[in-house]
Amino acid sequence: MKSKILLLMVLMFNVSSLMASGNVLIDGKTVKNKEDMQRILEKQLHFPTNYGKDLNNIYDGLLADFKSESVVRIKHLDVLRKKIGEQYIDEFIEVVGLAANDNVHVVLILE
């Protein structure tokens, strides 16, 4: 019985360590580069430090959020596209949008 409880606690910890929650502002005027954007996401959405830092893992982290709302706000999109690259930013927006469609607790705001 103790081993089943321990296993359940380990599984709960592993799932909760993947969940994102929080509000993040990605401001094209202040973000320096892609790595800076990743650091902001990791810190403000409470991603684990080993989440992988790619678009699939961002989607997975947002999709796992079922306890509280995660709001991703993007300001100065045109500046952000010039700094980081149009293709990556468009893919990022698509991934967050898909997570928002698949999880009612995820909100994407483009300003």
HEC sequence for 30-81: CCCCHHHHHHHHHHHCCCCCCCCCCHHHHHHHHHCCCCCCEEEEEECHHHHH
Q: Is the pLDDT of residue 44 over 50?
A: yes
Q: Do residues 106 and 72 make contact, with C-beta atoms less than 8 angstroms apart? A: yes
* Predicted local distance difference test score (pLDDT) of residue 61: 84
**pTM listed for this prediction:** 0.78
Residues 5-30 have a mean pLDDT of: 59
Rounded Cα–Cα distance for residues 17 and 35 (Å): 21
* Predicted local distance difference test score (pLDDT) of residue 29: 97
Q: Is the pLDDT of residue 41 over 70?
A: yes
Q: Is the pLDDT of residue 23 over 70?
A: yes
Pick from 18, 13, 111, 9: nearest CA to 70: 18
Q: Is 24 helix (H, G, I), strand (E, B) or coil?
A: strand
Rounded Cα–Cα distance for residues 61 and 1 (Å): 31
Residues 84-88 have a mean pLDDT of: 96
* Predicted local distance difference test score (pLDDT) of residue 102: 92
